[in-house]
Amino acid sequence: MNRATCCAALMWVACAWSQVAAKPSEPTLTGVVTRVSDGDTLWVRPDADGQPRKPVKVRLLGIDAPERCQAGGAESTAALKSRVLRREVAVRVVGRDGYGRLLGEVRLDGQDLGAWMVREGHAWSHRRFGVADVYASEEAQARSAQRGLFGDPAAIEPRSFRRSRGNCP
């Protein structure tokens, strides 16, 4: 192994370790889902100190569901709605997205909803540099079984859909 390769490998390990080691404990909120906007966005009414609060908009971490006006969008929204509407969920908040929504891993009865949406073929695993990210194995399972979106050879990833047609009205 030459010196440049060794240095690059050490830098990669140091960066990866710093992300794990320096990661503070993320806040978790629990509450009831009051609304589902689309296949990757829902509203949660937190219940803190026994007092219900105003619902907050949450974007599911790690997935990209079809837009409402896109083929598969209504089915994706309906799937998430039937799964979580009026049910209590736990959200591990990791930050905010570009639209100001809370960004988090959402769990229903301990099950990761993002993983479920991708595994059932209702969303794509979020992509980074063109490669499936967090839920790559769930997407591979759904593709293999041709579930939902992955059974349609004409299905278009939401990012490409937005790029060519813009956002839904």
Annotation says 101 is catalytic: yes
Query: Which domains, from first to last, does the chain contain?
Result: 26-165 (2.40.50.90)
Annotation says 67 is catalytic: yes
Provide the whole-model pTM. Answer: 0.80
Give me the catalytic one of 3, 26, 35, 67: 67
Determine the pLDDT at residue 116.
Answer: 98
Give me the catalytic one of 45, 53, 59, 127: 59
Say which DSSP state 133 is in.
-
Alpha carbon of residue 44 to chain centroid: 15
Determine the pLDDT at residue 168.
Answer: 79
The C-alpha atoms of residue 22 and residue 24 are separated, in whole angstroms, by 6
Residues 62-90 pLDDT 10s: 999 999 999 999 999 999 999 999 999 99
Determine the pLDDT at residue 8.
Answer: 35
Low-confidence ranges of the chain (pLDDT < 50): 1-24
Determine the pLDDT at residue 145.
Answer: 97
The C-alpha atoms of residue 135 and residue 141 are separated, in whole angstroms, by 10
Determine the pLDDT at residue 40.
Answer: 96
Q: Which amino acid is at 103?
A: L
Annotation says 3 is catalytic: no
Place of tokens 């979580």: 84
Determine the pLDDT at residue 123.
Answer: 97
Give me the catalytic one of 83, 101, 107, 119: 101
Q: Which amino acid is at 156?
A: I
